[in-house]
Amino acid sequence: MRYSGNNIVVTGGAGFIGSHLCERLLSRGNRVVSVDNYITGSRENIAHLEGVGGFKAMEHDITSPLYLEADIIFNLACPGSPVSYQQNAIRTIKTSVLGSLNILGLAKRTGAVVVQASTSEVYGDPEVHPQPESYYGNVNPTGPRACYDEGKRCAETLFMSYHLQHGVDVKIARIFNTYGPGMMPGDGRVVSNFIIQALEGKDITLYGDGGQSRSFIYIDDMVEALIKLASTPYRYSGPLNIGNPEEITMKALAHKIISLTGSLSAITTHPLPADDPVRRRPDIGKAMRDLDWAPSTDIEEGLMRTIHYFRQME
């Protein structure tokens, strides 16, 4: 990596993406501190890292100041699924806003590089397709998803303000739908929902007519991009889309998972939730050019690995 020193802090380190990131960083010889309040993250996600040289788990809520030494910080702390972040909207906003202020304060004190896990949700229900980083989005600021969407948008503003006003070396990653082994059952994400329903032989729950689309990136590809982003030059702040430009409808995803699992599940339809985006696909031209990166795991391969993971949990 570009930075000197190898002390890395991963907030949200016991979450889905965070735990995979901790594991990859440790394999590269870094010293890693996972910081998590375990509200949505799970101790089980990092249990296999306990005892690994260079790893430490710290229980802490980043809405309170954090005092550690760090060369680089990955700020992944925030509920990521609609079910999780809507359960306590005010806490979600506090994590994005107060948490970002505390993490930026830590980066300012230590001189650390800080990577902010933003989200494709900053684009809302986009009127531009695919979504480039230059698109300002179409977000409902008072809707049921606003606590997450607007919290992350405010966090981006804070990160850029700290960069411009205090010279903090920030990197903003706009993360698109990520899936893979380690996803939490019941967290409301569509891939895990469909797989669990298919494996249990239950009806696949499809919202709307199933024509709404998403672009899914496999976890290993996501982690690789985040690490590459941390290594970019000081003036490279983003925001940067990290996702898979391959788009699939929810109906097609349901049928693919039924086929891959050999399930006899039927498909049932329900009304589309409020403010649920109709289409979502990243323009990753900047990531391809600036990081020399593109996702390498196709949807079928990634789904098979994820299905295998959930089968082992049965």
Q: Which residues are designated catalytic?
A: 148
Q: How far apart are CA 93 and CA 36, in angstroms?
A: 16
SS3 of residue 268 by DSSP: strand
The β-bridge partners of 114 are 73, 170
Q: How many CA atoms lie within 13 A of 257 on its CB side?
A: 34
Q: Which two tokens mark 169?
A: 């070396």
Give CA–CA dist 11/68, Å, rounded. 12
CB–CB of 242/287 below 8 Å? yes
Kindly tell me the number of DSSP H helices and DSSP E strands found in the chain. Answer: 10, 13
Q: What is the dihedral of CA 237, 239, 241, 242, to 10 degrees?
A: 50
